[in-house]
Amino acid sequence: GAVVSQHPSRVICKSGTSVKIECRSLDFQATTMFWYRQFPKQSLMLMATSNEGSKATYEQGVEKDKFLINHASLTLSTLTVTSAHPEDSSFYICSARTDDKNIQYFGAGTRLSVL
Amino acid sequence: GENVEQHPSTLSVQEGDSAVIKCTYSDSASNYFPWYKQELGKGPQLIIDIRSNVGEKKDQRIAVTLNKTAKHFSLHITETQPEDSAVYFCAASWAGNQFYFGTGTSLTVIP
């Protein structure tokens, strides 16, 4: 299957700092990428849909000013958690959808710990 | 919007036995149904998928069946092995739309 690379895999930061997570589709172009948050033993919670060249669409309850998404190319989307607080600690996962077949491939996830 | 329900939430089987996980969906417009396997601390991995123009699809020990009339689809794993232990998620989608995920099934294969 197609490969989606997500970095970093783990990040520990101090409260109040910002953290950037990158999501790259390595062998296909993805007009649309998704960002999810996953709590322990729970399903994937969609945070936002990222479309290349346009503003991201955020799900209800997700603060767009806190979770900044940039999708500047067909192979790269970034999620920046601004002014991180301990309650932002979580597992964040990105996915990229193939343009032709509507298949989503996931990155390996980023474990964010805010101290 | 779409609502996907998944059962059971946990499943334990003896090595070599079969495992079946079932999902139902609500939106008849959904036409794509993938299954993902997620190991601890990792991202979900696509293991098999089926589209609405097909009733069954098989890939070695894994198979998926779809009943459009009843709006349900199932994952079948035969000859289970310890490395099959993971959390499995079903999803439903239609072209251009987001994926709606089930709540997950934690599968444990007992050696």
pLDDT tens string, chain B, 111 residues long: the values are: 889 999 999 999 999 999 999 999 999 999 999 999 999 999 999 999 999 998 999 999 999 999 999 999 999 999 999 999 999 999 999 877 889 999 999 999 999
Distance from CA of B25 to the nearest CA of A (A): 16
CB atoms within 10 A of CB B111: 8
A26 shares contact with chain B (CB less than 8 Å): no
Query: What are the chain B neighbours of A34 within 8 Å (beta carbons)?
Result: 98-99
Mean pLDDT of A5-32: 96
Q: Which of B13, B2, B25 is nearest to B105 (CA)?
A: B13
**Integer Cα distance of B58 and A11 in angstroms:** 39
Number of CB pairs, chain A paired with chain B, less than 8 A apart: 49
Residue B47: closest C-alpha in chain A: A1
* Burial annotation A31-51 (CB, 10 A radius, 16+ → b, else e): ebbbbbbbeeeebbbbbbbbb
pLDDT above 70 covers what percent of chain A? 99
Q: Is the Cβ–Cβ distance between A71 and A56 less than 8 Å? A: yes
Contact status, residue A24 vs residue A4, Cβ threshold 8 Å: yes
- Average pLDDT on A26-39 reads 94
Cβ contact (<8 Å) for B103 and A42?
yes
Residue A62 at interface with chain B, using a CB cutoff of 8 Å: no
Q: Would you say B73 and B90 are in contact if contact means Cβ atoms under 8 Å apart?
A: yes
Report d(CA A30, CA A4) in Å as an integer: 10
Nearest by CB to residue B46, choosing from A34, A105, A107, is A105
| Cβ(A35)–Cβ(A58) below 8 Å | no
> What pLDDT, in 10s, does the model give residues A52-100?
988 999 999 999 999 999 998 999 999 999 999 999 999 999 999 998 8
pLDDT band at A1 (very low <50, low <70, confident <90, very high): low
- Is A57 near chain B, with CB under 8 Å? no
- Cβ burial, residue B52 (10 Å; 0-12/13-18/19+): middle
Q: Which residues have a Cβ under 8 Å from the Cβ of A21 and sit 6 or more positions away?
A: A6, A7, A8, A11, A78, A79, A80, A81, A92, A94, A110, A112
Of A1, A41, A107, the CB nearest to B43: A107
Q: Is the peptide bond before B8 cis (omega within 30 degrees of 0)?
A: yes
> Which amino acid is located at A66 in the chain?
K
B54 touches chain A (CB under 8 A): no
Give pLDDT, residue A100.
85
CB-based contact B98 A46, cutoff 8 Å = yes
Q: Which has more pLDDT, A101 or B90?
A: B90
